[in-house]
């Protein structure tokens, strides 16, 4: 629940840390704003506070043209506390309520709840109905495209998910008392030829350098690259290819992403996935405060402000990379991934995308392409090749295998049903590919070694898993802090027990989880460095 007095103090100071946490509706003007709005602060009696932009819009307020609520960081208030709402929001963000056949009833059924219950949960956690959230998403995304790009209005309407140009125009006339074309800046000329640049905001602090280090080490040649502080890659959305280039704009608390794509309806999906890839919606201060309740973990959390959990563009890609990266170095795993890409796909000749300044030539293969490839040329153990084949077949046979809307337990269960995938791999895929904030690969050798150094005694995966209960619902961020702790050179705590060869919690560096944590597969061993 929002405290009006606290919200008003944040509004007076224009504190960026509160950006996206609430929106202010001004009754004297009928406009709602972000806490960082440069306009003069309204009187307290004229202010109403809402948890989301959808709630403000449903209450009859329209978006401010100065602070532009459409580029505010997404509010993560429901994440980790309301699983059903988190899953529903993930689907709405990718257009689950767009199109003539979409409905709240269908959305609720796909989540395993009743329509009435879903509406109640949205009202409790979001402050607006599912349809209002979807409508606000369409309007704000369209408004962002109008302000920041040169797309023609027909393309803007299509990209934002409006069913027709007429509905698009009517919506903007009702909300802003003017046609959408009048919202476009005079300096912006409509054109569909040039690449567009979208601004994706976050709530500070934000450790961009840590993300670049992560993606630089793991970039698959030909598919992605990091150069001059810019992350570039080629992606595919519904068989349509796009080129993206993301750079940091710290003065704006945002990433600026250049997107070249000839299929404008793919833009909301691209924006939504990029927010997950770079973990832009994390409230790192709230997460850090929760994790710091563990006094032993607190020092590394303090020394890594703004640390995010890097994601993957596609969960299938993350799963393949996790399998390829077992028991070998990151460099060797990237080489295997590049071989797999070359075996499975053809080099792209994209007339509408200028790649003269990059070495990007391929899109990561689909499950169908992986099945059709000769994996014997990879030079991998037969058991691991069999796991890749089983994963590709499962991805084809079970369309909901990598559904972001699944709960953590559902995701882990479905992944572990695939031969050769055990607990560690399933948790890692859930963390990186599905972005479950509570996923925790407790048997990862990097986490175990850094935990031993930090906590002062050797922990088995089972013991570490028991300790991680106090970190819920943010165990994934605790895992990220533990992974990164090896670079901090913290003084080790005094050890509580001296390990020896007979110590029951002593783990061989590459022992399979089956020997220590009930794992099922030798292909699921703790890894030296996770990919």
Q: What is the pLDDT of residues 473-501, one digit of tens each?
A: 899 999 999 999 877 765 555 444 444 43
Is residue 64 part of the annotated active site? The answer reads: no
Mean pLDDT of the region 369-387 = 93
Which residues, in sequence order, are bridge partners of residue 234?
243
Mean pLDDT in residue range 505-515: 28
DSSP annotation of 408 reads: H
Which residues have a Cβ under 8 Å from the Cβ of 117 and sit 6 or more positions away?
Answer: 108
The share of the chain scoring above pLDDT 90, in percent, equals 61
Question: Residues of the chain with pLDDT > 70: what percent?
Answer: 86
Residue 491 is predicted with a pLDDT of 54
Cα dihedral 80, 82, 84, 85, rounded to 10, equals: -100
7 assigned to active site: no
Average pLDDT over residues 148-153: 90
pLDDT of residue 138: 92
Q: For residues 25 and 42, what is the distance between their CA atoms, to the nearest angstrom?
A: 10
Check: CB of residue 457 under 8 Å from CB of residue 489.
Answer: no
Please say if the pLDDT value at position 44 is more than 60. Answer: yes
Reported as a single tens digit per residue, the pLDDT across 201-239 is 998 999 999 999 999 999 999 999 999 999 999 999 988
The dihedral over CA atoms of 178, 179, 184, 186, expressed in degrees to the nearest 10, equals -80
Residues whose CB is less than 8 angstroms from the CB of residue 68 and which lie 6 or more positions away in sequence, other chains included: 34, 143, 144, 147
Whether the per-residue pLDDT at 520 is higher than 50: the answer is no
Distance CA 531, CA 214 (A): 9
Q: Count of residues for the chain? A: 531
Residue 70 bridge partners (DSSP): none
The pLDDT value given to residue 337: 96
**CA distance linking residue 106 with residue 400, whole number of Å:** 15
Structure tokens at 190: 């409509």
Provide the 8-state DSSP code for 346.
Answer: -
d(CA 507, CA 504): 8
d(CA 159, CA 512): 47
| Chain mean pLDDT for the chain | 85
* CB distance 35 to 22 below 8 Å: yes
Lowest-pLDDT range, 12-16, 258-262, 334-338? 12-16
Say what the pLDDT of residue 521 is.
41
For residues 284 and 291, what is the distance between their CA atoms, to the nearest angstrom? 10
Q: What is the pLDDT of residue 187?
A: 54
Both tokens of residue 457?
């005694």
Tell me the two tokens of residue 63: 């978006």
Question: Among 242, 141, 258, which Cα is nearest to 197's?
Answer: 258
All domains of the chain, ordered by start, with CATH? 4-65 (3.40.10.10), 83-183 (1.10.10.60)
Mean pLDDT within 168-197: 78
- Name the CA dihedral angle for 173, 176, 177, 179, rounded to a multiple of 10 degrees: -50
Distance CA 365, CA 367 (A): 7
pTM: 0.82
pLDDT given at position 74:
77
Query: Does residue 508 surpass a pLDDT of 50?
Result: no
Query: According to the model, what pLDDT value does residue 79 have?
Result: 52
132, 137, 142, 143: CA torsion to nearest 10: 90
Which of 70-74, 232-236, 249-253, 391-395 is predicted least confidently?
70-74
Kindly name the residue from 33, 67, 261, 334 that is annotated as catalytic. Answer: 33
Selected catalytic residue, list 19, 279, 314, 444: 444
Phi-psi region for residue 161, left (φ > 0), alpha (ψ -120 to 50) or beta? left
Exposure string for 409-427, b = 16+ CB within 10 A, e = fewer: ebbbebbbebebbbbbbbb
* pLDDT surpasses 50 at 369: yes
| CA diameter of the chain | 77
Q: Is the pLDDT of residue 136 over 60?
A: yes
Residue 402: closest CA among 433, 438, 424: 433
**Tokens at residue 372, please?**
């059709």
Residue 92: CB atoms within 10 A of its CB come to 24
């Amino acid at each position: 629940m929002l405290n009006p007095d606290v919200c008003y103090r944040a509004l007076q100071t224009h504190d960026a840390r509160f950006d996206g946490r609430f929106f202010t509706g001004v009754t004297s003007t009928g406009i709602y704003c972000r806490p960082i709005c440069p306009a003069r602060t309204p009187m307290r009696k004229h202010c109403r506070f809402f948890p989301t932009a959808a709630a403000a819009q449903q209450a009859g307020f329209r978006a401010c043209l100065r602070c532009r609520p459409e580029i505010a960081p997404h509010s993560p208030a429901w994440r980790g506390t309301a699983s059903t709402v988190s899953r529903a929001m993930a689907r709405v963000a990718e257009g689950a309520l767009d199109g003539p056949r979409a409905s709240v009833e269908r959305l609720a059924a796909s989540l395993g709840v009743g329509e009435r219950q879903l509406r109640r949960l949205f009202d409790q956690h979001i402050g607006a109905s599912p349809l209002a959230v979807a409508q606000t998403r369409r309007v704000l995304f369209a408004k962002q495209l109008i302000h920041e790009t040169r797309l023609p209005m027909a393309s803007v309407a299509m990209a934002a998910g409006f069913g027709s140009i007429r509905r698009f125009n009517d919506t903007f006339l009702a909300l802003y008392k003017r046609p959408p074309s009048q919202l476009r800046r005079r300096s912006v000329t409509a054109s569909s030829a040039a690449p567009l640049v979208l601004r994706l905001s976050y709530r500070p602090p934000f450790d961009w350098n840590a993300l670049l280090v992560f993606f630089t080490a793991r970039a698959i040649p030909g598919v992605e690259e990091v150069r001059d502080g810019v992350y570039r890659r080629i992606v595919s959305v519904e068989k349509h290819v796009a080129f993206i280039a993301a750079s940091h704009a710290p003065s704006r608390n945002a990433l600026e992403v250049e997107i070249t794509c000839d299929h404008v309806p793919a833009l909301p999906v691209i924006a939504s996935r990029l927010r997950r890839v770079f973990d832009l919606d994390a409230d790192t201060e709230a997460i850090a405060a929760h994790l710091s309740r563990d006094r032993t973990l607190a020092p590394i959390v303090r020394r890594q402000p703004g640390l995010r959990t890097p994601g993957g563009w596609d969960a299938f890609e993350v799963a393949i990379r996790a399998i390829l990266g077992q028991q070998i170095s990151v460099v060797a795993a990237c080489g295997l991934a590049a071989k797999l890409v070359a075996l499975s796909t053809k080099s792209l000749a994209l007339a509408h995308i200028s790649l003269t300044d990059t070495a990007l030539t391929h899109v990561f293969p689909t499950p169908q392409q992986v099945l059709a490839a000769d994996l014997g040329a990879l030079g991998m153990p037969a058991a691991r090749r069999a796991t890749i084949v089983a994963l590709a077949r499962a991805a084809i046979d079970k369309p909901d295998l990598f559904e972001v809307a699944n709960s953590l337990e559902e995701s882990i269960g479905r992944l572990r049903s695939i031969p050769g995938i055990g607990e560690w791999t399933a948790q890692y895929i859930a963390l990186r590919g599905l972005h479950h904030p509570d996923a925790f690969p407790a048997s990862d050798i990097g986490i175990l070694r850094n935990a031993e150094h930090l906590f002062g005694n050797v922990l088995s995966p089972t013991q570490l898993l028991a300790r991680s209960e106090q970190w819920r619902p943010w165990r994934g961020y605790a895992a990220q802090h533990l992974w990164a702790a090896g670079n901090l050179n913290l003084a080790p705590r005094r050890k509580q027990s001296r390990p020896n060869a007979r110590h029951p919690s002593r783990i061989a560096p590459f022992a399979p989880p089956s020997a220590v944590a009930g794992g099922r597969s030798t292909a699921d061993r703790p890894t030296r460095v996770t990919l």
